Chain A
C-alpha cells in the first residue's frame, strides 16, 4: 500500500489529522507498507481483554497494551520522532486540527498553557512520561479500541 491508496478513502481525507495517521503506518523513510506492517499498526487498536492482563509479566508487552496505545498517540504529536513534544510540534499539530479558524497568538497561548500544565522537569517540552501522567485518568483502553463484529 502506498500513501495515495490511503488518501483515496474520502472519510480519511477529511479527517484533520488524516496525514499524521497515514504516516503512522509507514516506517522510517519508506513509502510502501505491506500487509504485515499494516496489521502491526492496526493491532494497537485491538480491545484489551481481561485474561490478557494477567499473563504478560514475563513476555514482551502486547501491541495493544495501554502503554503502547498511548505511545501511538504520542507519536502523532511528535513530528520529528525525538521522543519529546516541543512547543513548535504542538503548534503544528494544533494548526492541523483547527485549520484557519484560530489566530496564531491564540494558538500559541493554548500551546504554552498545555506545556506548562504538563511539564514537570522544566524543559519546555512534553516527554512520554509526562504525557502518560497527564492522561492517567483517561479511559484509553476504551477510546483507542475498535471492536470487530463476529
Chain B
C-alpha cells in the first residue's frame, strides 16, 4: 500500500505532463495552421507511408493464399458477367436471322423473341447496374481494416501484428485526437458565428464571418484527417451562382465549405444540428427550410431564386442527387435546382476508398455510427475538381441541362454516368420505364405489320 502512493502521484504527474504536451502539439500543429489555412504536410507523409504498408500487406495475402491454395475472393469493379451493349432491335433481329433464313423486313412475331427478354432478365439478376451503387465499394487490395477484409484467414504473424498495431493506433491514438478536434471545431463554429451575429451588418461582419466559417471547417477537416486535393481552383463558384456536386456523404459539405464560402440549403433539424444551423444563420444568410416546406417545391424554388438574384449573397451549395450514392457513379440529378436559371458551377468529388470509405449507407448505419466509422478509418482522401461554369442554353429544358451537367461531373471524376434515379434506393421503379420497353418491342412487331398490309 505504501509503495503504491508515491507511484500513484508519479503516474498522475506523468499523465498531466503528457496531456499538456499533447494539447500543445495539437494547438501548434493542427489548430494554428487551420486558422491561417496553411499546412505542414504531415498528412501527406502519413498517406505515403500507409500506401507502402498496404501494398506490402496485399502482396503478403496473395502469396499466403497461393501457398495454402485457398481461393482468393477478388472483387471486380466492372461487373462479373460479360455483357454486350446491343439494343433491343438488334438483338431480336439477330435471333430471327439465325433462326429462319427469311428476309428481315417481313417477319412479325417469332417464338424466339422471348430469348432476348429472358436473357436480359437473368443478366440483371446476376449483376445489375443500380443496386450495387447503394452499398460500399469493394476494394481491390486490402487496407488493414477488418471491415473491408473478405479473405480473413490467418496468413502470417507479421500481418496480424500489423493489423493489431493498426487497430491500436486508430482507436487509442487517432480517435481521441479526432474527437477532441471535432469538439473544438464545432464549439468554435457555434460561438464564433453567434458572436459575429451581434455585430452590425457591414464589411467587417462579412469578413469576420467568412473567416470564422472557414477556420471551423478547416478544423473539422483535420478532425477527420481528410487529405483533400483541389484542382482548377480558378473555377470556384462566385456570388449569385449555384454550386452542384455529387453526393456521397454529409462530409462532402465540410470538404467543400473549407475551401470556399457558401450558403447552405437544407432542412432544419433538431438537436445538435439545429443548434449549429441556427448559429450559422446569425452570421450570414443560409437557406434553411421547415420540414413542411420541403414538400412544397414552388416555395423552395422561389426562395432559392430570391437568394440567387441578390448578387451580394453567397453561392448556394446543392446536391441534386438527393441521396448518398457510393461514389462509383453519378445518378439522376433532380431538375429543381436547374430550373432557376442561374449560373451553375459543377464540382466533382471523388474519394479514394483505400484509406477509408466515406459512403454513408443510411439504411445500415445511423449518423453517429457513421461518424465513428469515419473517425476510426485511416484517413479520408479525396480529390475535388472545380469545373467551368455552365448555363442553360435556350433550346434545352431543365432535364437536359441537368443531364449535361451530370455527364460533365461524371467524366471529370471518372464515375459511371447513370440515368437511374437515386430514389430507387428506397422506392420502386416507375411503370413508365416498363411501358417504354413494351412500346419499343411492339413497334418491331406491328411496324412490320403495317408494311405488309400496305404491300
Contacts and interface: CB of A to CB of B under 8 A. Distances in A.
Chains A and B come from one and the same complex: yes
Interface of A: 6-18, 21, 42, 45, 72-73, 76-77, 93-94, 97-102, 106, 110, 113-114, 118, 126, 131, 134-135, 137-140, 143-144, 146-149
A94 B113 CA distance: 10
Instruction: Give the bracket for the number of chain B residues in contact with chain A.
Output: 35 or more
Contacts of A102: 442, 445-446
Nearest to B434: A14
Contacts of A100: 435, 438
B118 A144 contact: yes
Given A138-B112, A138-B115, A143 B434 contact: no
B439 interface: yes
A16 B109 contact: no
Contacts of A6: 125
B108 A137 contact: no
Given A97-B438, A139-B98, A13 B428 contact: yes
B433 interface: yes
B123 interface: yes
B125 A12 contact: yes
29 contacts: A6-B125, A9-B128, A9-B131, A10-B130, A10-B420, A10-B424, A13-B429, A14-B434, A15-B434, A16-B117, A16-B438, A17-B117, A42-B126, A76-B118, A97-B113, A98-B442, A101-B438, A101-B442, A102-B446, A110-B449, A113-B108, A135-B99, A135-B111, A135-B112, A137-B100, A144-B119, A147-B82, A149-B76, A149-B81
7 A-B pairs with the lowest CB-CB distances in the bound complex, closest first: A99-B438, A138-B99, A98-B442, A101-B442, A21-B121, A11-B124, A14-B433
B398 interface: no
B80 interface: yes
A15 B81 CA distance: 19
Name, among A10, A101, A146, the residue most crowded by chain B CB atoms within 10 Å (CB to CB).
A10
B363 interface: no
A14 B434 CA distance: 4
B95 A143 contact: yes
B441 interface: yes
B122 interface: yes
Interface of chain B, main secondary structure: helix
A11 to B, nearest CB: 4
B336 interface: no
B129 to A, nearest CB: 7
A36 B273 CA distance: 48
A99 B439 CA distance: 7
Given A98-B441, A135-B99, A148 B428 contact: no
B411 interface: no
Contact of B118 (A10, A17, A138, A139): A17
A110 to B, nearest CB: 5
Contacts of B420: 10
A97 B441 contact: yes
